Each structure stands twice: as C-alpha cells, then as structure tokens.
C-alpha cells in the first residue's frame, strides 16, 4: 500500500520532510533516560511488586486495570505507575520526544503485516514519513474489545464469558457510520460490562488529539424500566456517567471523566444532534515521548439502559 503512493514535489525532498517531522515534533535521537521516565530496573521491580500484590480477579474487575490489559501482562500497569510518579515527583522539567531510525521501521512492521525487514528498507524514508502524516490513525468500535467487570478466581469463567459477552456488545448497522456498522453502549444492573477498550500499536512521538465519533440515542426498550427507577428515586433521572481514559506506554495519559460527560453533557448534545447525526467528541490531548502503544477505554453507566451511546470509531490526529 505504501509503494502505491505517487511522488509529489514535497516527497521529492527527503531533507525537507525529515526536517518538518523533527521540527513539528521536537524529536531527537537523544533518548530520555530510564531514570527520568521512572523505568530503571529498581523502578520496574517496585512496580512489578505492587502488581503482584493485586488479586488476579482485580485485573478484570477494576476498570482501569482491565483497560490496561492487566490480565495479560504488567506493561500497561507499569506505564500507569511511571506516569503517576512523573506527575507527582518529576525527575526532570524537560522530557524529550525521541525516535531512532530502527524504531521508525519497527513502527511500520508492527502495524503492517505485508512489510518485513527486507522490503521496508527498499522504501525511501521520506515516503514512509509522508505516509505516516496522511494515514488515518483510527480504530473502529466494532473491532474493539468488551470490558467485562465480572471475574472469578484464576479467571476460570473468563474464557467462557469472552464469547458470551459478544452478545452484549451490540453491533448495529448504520449507513451513516464509517463502515456501516457501530457499537451500542449502555448499562443495566444485569450487565456488568464496562464499555469497550482497544490499543493503538506503535505510535510515533508527538502530541495527538483524541477524537471519538459517536451518536446519542434514547432507547425506548428500557423506557419503562427507567421510568420505574425514577419513580422510586427522583435523582436517578439525571444519573448518567460517561468515562474515557487513554494512556501512552512511553508518554502521558488523557482522561475525560463523568464530571464532564454527565447528564447535562448528554442532554445538550442530544438537543444539538438528536439521535440522527454523528458528531466528533474531543476527549483531550495525549503526549507520546517515545515509540508507544496507546491504550484506551470508553464506557457509560448509571443510565438504566435508556440513554445510549453509539460508538463508530476513535481517531488520533497529529497536532504537534
């Protein structure tokens, strides 16, 4: 796919493109030290020790650890701990954005199964840089994973529930969505699912804006249930909480919590867009200092099944 890109005047100047990329992102080949990133052997041993103190089921039942794939490995957990430390007790005032040539090639190899160590080096560097600028860094909602917040010791029921949960992750057809399919998100007491999660692989250093393409809906299937709950507790009428969280493996995190995406947020956007129009919701900005995977999670809860979010895709836009 990369080889099919036609030459343009901009692409004919390798020096200009590399200069533009490095200048726009402030990228240097001088790496950040493990010390300033809280990634020394001593730091990692401490984080690993904390990780092992958690019960196995917590990696599924705690929303954050589930988003960071704590059940599979400690990578996301360690990244979160290092970011927390950097915020509370920074070891430097300046963190550099760094990238080596080998890491740049690695980013393509991790994201494109048709490239290998041999044929990627036949493609000019400036063409690869150009393509990274123009390609859509996007993940579809239908390709995301369900967040199951129910677990048992040693994950005995997780494998079985993995397939059962696909029934709850409602895929719907919508001609106005990007691919004609999307995911409907909602919650009820009988559904302990915590939304969806996913991971962008091998994202280059830079500052990215995170956009979610969504649509709102009021689900009449649960209107009777919602009305009954509100009659028993009038405060339940305004109980809707949405949460978004993203974290870069070697960078910072980004959060948009229920204080922002609450009942007022839902109703105002429903008034603007109705249940017909899709719109882009900006979740925030995320900094990536070195080649990283970016984890993300999105959920809605306390909505009694009535207020729903249809999720089309999430996208990273390079802004700096």
Express as a percent the part of the chain with pLDDT over 90.
Answer: 44
The pLDDT of residue 241 is 87
Q: Count of CB atoms within 10 A of residue 305's CB?
A: 18
| Window from 152-161, 183-192, 204-213 with minimum mean pLDDT | 152-161
Which whole number is the average pLDDT over 164-168? 48
The pLDDT of residue 15 is 45
* Phi, psi of 256, deg, nearest 5: -130, 105
Matching residue, tokens 């603007």: 272
β-pair type (170-173, 137-140) = unpaired
pLDDT in tens, 129-151: 888 888 889 999 998 888 877 76
CA gap 59, 66 in Å, rounded:
5
Q: Where does 137-318 sit in CATH, by number? A: 2.60.120.260
Which whole number is the average pLDDT over 71-75? 92
Which whole number is the average pLDDT over 152-164? 53
* Phi, psi of 213, deg, nearest 5: -95, 110
Q: Where in the chain is the domain with CATH 2.60.120.260?
A: 137-318
| Closest C-alpha among 185, 177, 180, 204 to residue 145 | 185
pLDDT in tens, 276-306: 999 999 999 999 999 999 999 999 887 778 8
pLDDT in tens, 194-244: 789 999 999 999 999 999 999 999 988 888 878 888 888 877 778 888 999
Which whole number is the average pLDDT over 181-197? 78
**Higher-pLDDT residue of 163, 250:** 250
The radius of gyration of the chain from alpha carbons, rounded to an integer in Å, stands at: 22
CA gap 62, 59 in Å, rounded:
6
CA gap 26, 195 in Å, rounded:
35
Which whole number is the average pLDDT over 177-204? 84
In the chain the beta strands, taken as DSSP E runs, fall at: 27-28, 97-98, 137-140, 145-148, 170-173, 181-185, 193-203, 206-218, 241-248, 253-256, 279-288, 292-301, 307-318
Q: Per-residue confidence at 26, pLDDT binned at 50, 70, 90?
A: low
| Window from 50-64, 103-117, 165-179 with minimum mean pLDDT | 165-179
Which whole number is the average pLDDT over 108-126? 86
The pLDDT of residue 154 is 59
Q: C-alpha distances in angstroms, 144 versus 28, 62, 156, 291?
A: 33, 18, 23, 22
User: Rounded mean pLDDT of the chain?
Assistant: 83
The pLDDT of residue 85 is 94
**Torsion over CA: 280, 283, 289, 292 (sign):** negative
pLDDT at 3 over 60: no
Q: Per-residue confidence at 28, pLDDT binned at 50, 70, 90?
A: low
């Amino acid at each position: 796919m990369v080889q099919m890109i036609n030459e343009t005047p901009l692409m004919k100047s390798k020096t200009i493109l590399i200069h533009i990329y490095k200048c726009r992102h402030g990228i240097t080949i001088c790496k950040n030290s493990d010390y300033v990133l809280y990634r020394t052997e001593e730091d990692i041993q401490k984080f690993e020790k904390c990780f092992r103190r958690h019960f196995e089921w917590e990696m599924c039942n705690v929303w954050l650890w589930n988003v960071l794939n704590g059940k599979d490995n400690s990578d996301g957990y360690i990244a979160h701990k290092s970011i927390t430390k950097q915020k509370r007790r920074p070891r430097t005032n300046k963190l550099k954005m760094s990238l080596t040539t080998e890491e740049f090639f690695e980013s393509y190899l991790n994201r494109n199964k048709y490239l290998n160590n041999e044929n990627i080096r036949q493609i000019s560097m400036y063409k690869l840089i150009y393509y990274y600028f123009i390609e859509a860094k996007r993940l579809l909602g239908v390709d995301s994973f369900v967040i199951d917040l129910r677990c048992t010791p040693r994950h005995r029921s997780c494998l079985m529930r993995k397939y059962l949960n696909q029934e709850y992750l409602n895929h719907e057809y919508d001609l106005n969505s990007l691919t004609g399919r999307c995911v409907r998100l909602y919650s009820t007491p009988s559904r302990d699912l915590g939304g969806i999660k996913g991971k962008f692989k091998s994202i280059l250093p830079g500052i990215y804006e995170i956009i979610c393409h969504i649509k709102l809906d009021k689900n009449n299937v649960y209107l009777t249930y919602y009305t009954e709950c509100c009659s028993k507790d009038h405060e339940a009428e305004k109980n809707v909480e949405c949460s978004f969280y993203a974290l870069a493996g070697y960078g910072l995190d980004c959060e948009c919590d229920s204080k922002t995406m609450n009942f007022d947020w839902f109703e105002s956007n429903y008034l603007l867009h109705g249940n017909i129009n899709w719109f882009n919701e900006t979740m925030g900005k995320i900094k990536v200092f070195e080649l990283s995977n970016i984890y993300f999670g999105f959920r809605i809860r306390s909505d009694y099944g009535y207020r729903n979010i249809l999720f089309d895709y999430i996208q990273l836009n390079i802004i700096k």
